Amino acid sequence: MYAEASRMRQIYTLIIGLLIALPGLAQDSTKGRWLEGKSDGWFWYNEPEEAIEEPIEEEEPKPQTKVISPPSAPQGPAPLSSAWIRENMQSYLDAAIDNPTPENVAAFLYIQRYAMDKSFAFMDAQQQVTLGHPVFDEINRRPTATFANRKLDDAASSNNRDVISKISSNSGLFFFFDGSEASMAQMGVLDMLVRNHEFDIVKISVAPIPQALQEQGIRIDNGHGAQMGVTTVPAIVLVRPDGVFDIISQAPVSLNDLKKRLLVGAKRLAVISEDEFNSTRPINNINLNLADSQPKAIQPSTNNLPIPAKDIVNAFSGGQTR
């Protein structure tokens, strides 16, 4: 009994000893952890640090750069060019008339003088280019010398007579008339033509005529004029032997005018050739006709001219320059 009580006291003593030792062990353990983290200073208790937000510097808005477009090219022709003068000169004249200040009047006069000087420069350049040129110099076609003109006129007159005589032998004339004074005068002109060139003429009256005139070969119009397209009288129609015709006049004409119309009508009816027709004209080198030539192929232009000037020159001159 005594021994059991002694053993229980030992157990209690051991338990009490352990209880006394545990706080020290806990204290030492905490002391070791503090020493290990002493570098933390006052923050040894490891409270989470609050994130410190640094102020964000707001960027200042960059100034917008304005894009400056280059000035657009002025519309319309260049100042003081021929096109500009043509478009604007009247405006300056109007301003000078409506408000004749010294400045307005002087502005118009300056433009006018400038235009005249440009014209004179062009005239001088034209003379330089034209003189002696086989195409541009007009004396190659019609001389200025009196003796040369007379000779040319005489040759044309002689050819005129020969060609009209040929026309009279290959065609005839229908003459539509009435009893008016104009018709009677025209009949006298035709009589002179017949005396010189022996044309066969059929005279047709669109109005009733006395029997005596009918006996002289004058016929009554039975619709022939309307069929041919005659609308007024006196009218003259050139007729080929095969019946093909051409109205050459529907009004009174002189003898010289009638001869010219006969030549044109005969050419249209192919009674005479182009060369025969040209031989009656007092002009030399008439075959040098640029309109009848076929220039080289011309390409469109990229400048302000529809076709470059040099291409115009090359096309007609064959690339030859003087």
> Given this model, what pLDDT does residue 42 score?
39
Asked if 178 contacts 207 with a C-beta cutoff of 8 angstroms, the reply is yes
Question: In the chain, where are the structural domains located?
Answer: 82-130, 172-270
Q: How many CB atoms lie within 10 A of CB 185?
A: 11
> Given this model, what pLDDT does residue 208 score?
84
> Given this model, what pLDDT does residue 128 score?
95
> Given this model, what pLDDT does residue 57 score?
61
| CB contact set of 145 (below 8 Å; sequence gap of 6+) | none
| CB contact set of 205 (below 8 Å; sequence gap of 6+) | 176, 177, 178, 179, 213, 218, 219, 220, 221
| CB contact set of 203 (below 8 Å; sequence gap of 6+) | 175, 177, 187, 217, 218, 219
> Given this model, what pLDDT does residue 267 score?
97
Cross-strand pairs, 220: 205
> Given this model, what pLDDT does residue 18 score?
46
pLDDT in tens, 6-31: 555 665 555 555 445 545 544 444 44
Measured between alpha carbons, how far is 171 from 167 in angstroms, rounded to an integer? 6
> Given this model, what pLDDT does residue 221 score?
92
As a dihedral over the C-alpha atoms of residue 234, residue 235, residue 238, residue 241, rounded to 10 degrees, the angle is -90
CA-closest candidate to residue 202, choices 173, 231, 178, 224: 173
pLDDT in tens, 257-301: 999 999 999 999 999 999 999 999 999 988 878 877 777 776 665
Measured between alpha carbons, how far is 51 from 1 in angstroms, rounded to an integer? 70
Residues making up the chain, counted from first to last = 322
pTM of the model: 0.61
172-270 under CATH 3.40.50.300, yes or no: no
- 146-170 vs 181-197: helix axis angle to the nearest 10? 100
> Given this model, what pLDDT does residue 86 score?
94
Measured between alpha carbons, how far is 29 from 122 in angstroms, rounded to an integer? 120
Residues of the chain with pLDDT under 50: 2-3, 18-19, 22, 25-45
5-8-21 Cα angle (round to 5): 145
- 146-170 vs 255-268: helix axis angle to the nearest 10? 60
Measured between alpha carbons, how far is 86 from 115 in angstroms, rounded to an integer? 9
Per the structure block, which two tokens stand in for 225? 């004029």
Measured between alpha carbons, how far is 227 from 225 in angstroms, rounded to an integer? 5
